[in-house]
Each structure stands twice: as structure tokens, then as C-alpha cells.
């Protein structure tokens, strides 16, 4: 099978189910941004020092593929059985956040991204996750989705923020606090 099909040369692509849409369609924006997020998470995984976090990041990436498959599907025409998200996927993120926060100092200021490569990558991924969430919210207004999709992306952005702090803390890097101009 060839990588190129030439079917998208005029600015359209197919959803699961065969429906053709323009490449700027909100459904494409939503799953394309989830795909971008997944790539950043791969980079973050490559820069994560602990095996259990590497395994969790890989699991998150797999869950994002599941989410992306639903976003890439025409709900009216697709007959494909898609993998499912579960509330346990969200709970796993929440449990991980709680565990990270046990070792972190309380945060009373905003922090600037940076100070450590892993921290910076996690913040970039967090921003992409928030953009994916915005696209999925817009898609949901026009084509109702499983509410768990929105919950998962929201919690994942929280996880990425806390993970950025955790990486800095474990490496002994100083968090850079935002100091507003007076």
C-alpha cells in the first residue's frame, strides 16, 4: 500500500465512514490537534527519566489514539467498532496528579515554563492539549460527543502542568515564578 493516494490533493480528506470533508473542517482540526499532542507526548516520553512515567506516557498516547479515532469518525455513517475511553482513564490521570503533588511544594504563584527540557516539553504539550480541548468543545457544539472526551483532555492538561513541576522538582531545578509588573 502506498503512503500517497492523491485523494487529498484538492483539500479534502475522508472520515471513518467515507464522508469527504475539507481539511479545515472542525473535525479534522480536532483530531489533527490531538495527533499533534500525541507527537509532543512522544517527545516528552523520550525525555522522561522514570520508567513508570514512560509507561504512563505511552498509555496516554494510546488513549489519545482512541480519542482521535472517535473524532475522525462520521457518527452517522461509520460502522467501525472503535475502542472506548473509560472513566478509569481519567481516574488514572487524577491519581497520578495526586501522587506527584505529594512531593511538590505548594504553588502560590504562576510559573513560567522552562528551566529544564522536560519541563518545557510538558508545557508545550499542555498548551497543545488546551487547543485540542477547544477544538473538541467546538466540535461538540455541532456534533455531540461523549462527555468523557472533554473530561479526559481537561484532566490531561492538568496532568501535564503538574508533571512539568514534578520533572523540575525531581531534577532539583528551580521553578521560575512569574512576577507581575507593578
Give percent of the chain with pLDDT exceeding 70.
100
Which are the contacts of 165, defined by CB distance < 8 A and separation ≥ 6? 100, 104, 107, 111, 119, 175
CATH at 55: 1.20.1200.10
Residue 42 has pLDDT above 90, yes or no: yes
Judged against a pLDDT cut of 90, whether residue 21 lies above it is answered with no
In a domain, 6, yes or no: no
Residue 5's pLDDT band, with cuts at 50, 70 and 90, is confident
State residue 66's pLDDT score.
Answer: 97
Q: Is 22 helix (H, G, I), strand (E, B) or coil?
A: strand
Question: Looking at the domain assignment, is residue 25 inside a domain?
Answer: no
Inside any domain, residue 179: no
- Cα–Cα distance, 63 to 37 (Å, whole number): 12
How much is the mean pLDDT over the chain? 94
Q: How many domains does the chain have?
A: 1
Is residue 60 included in any domain, yes or no?
yes
Instruction: Grade residue 1 by pLDDT with cuts at 50, 70 and 90.
Output: confident
Give the pLDDT confidence of 49-67 residue by residue, as tens digits. Answer: 888 999 999 999 999 999 9
First and final C-alpha spacing in the chain: 61
Is 124 a member of any domain?
A: yes
Domain span including residue 41: 32-67+86-99+112-174
Please report which residue ranges of the chain form alpha helices under DSSP H: 26-46, 51-71, 87-102, 117-142, 147-171
Amino acid at each position: 500500500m502506498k503512503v500517497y493516494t492523491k485523494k487529498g490533493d484538492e483539500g479534502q480528506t475522508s472520515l471513518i465512514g467515507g464522508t469527504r470533508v475539507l481539511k479545515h473542517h472542525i473535525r479534522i482540526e480536532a483530531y489533527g490537534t490531538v495527533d499533534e499532542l500525541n507527537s509532543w507526548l512522544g517527545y516528552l516520553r523520550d525525555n522522561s527519566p522514570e520508567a513508570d512515567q514512560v509507561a504512563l506516557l505511552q498509555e496516554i498516547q494510546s488513549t489519545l489514539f482512541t480519542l482521535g479515532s472517535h473524532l475522525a469518525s462520521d457518527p452517522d455513517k461509520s460502522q467501525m467498532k472503535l475502542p472506548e475511553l473509560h472513566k478509569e482513564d481519567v481516574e488514572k490521570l487524577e491519581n497520578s496528579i495526586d501522587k506527584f503533588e505529594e512531593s511538590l511544594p505548594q504553588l502560590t504563584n504562576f510559573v513560567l515554563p522552562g528551566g529544564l527540557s522536560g519541563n518545557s516539553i510538558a508545557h508545550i504539550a499542555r498548551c497543545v492539549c488546551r487547543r485540542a480541548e477547544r477544538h473538541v468543545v467546538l466540535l461538540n457544539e455541532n456534533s455531540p460527543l461523549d462527555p468523557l472526551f472533554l473530561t479526559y483532555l481537561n484532566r490531561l492538561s492538568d496532568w501535564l502542568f503538574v508533571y512539568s513541576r514534578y520533572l523540575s522538582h525531581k531534577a532539583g531545578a528551580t521553578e521560575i515564578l512569574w512576577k507581575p509588573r507593578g
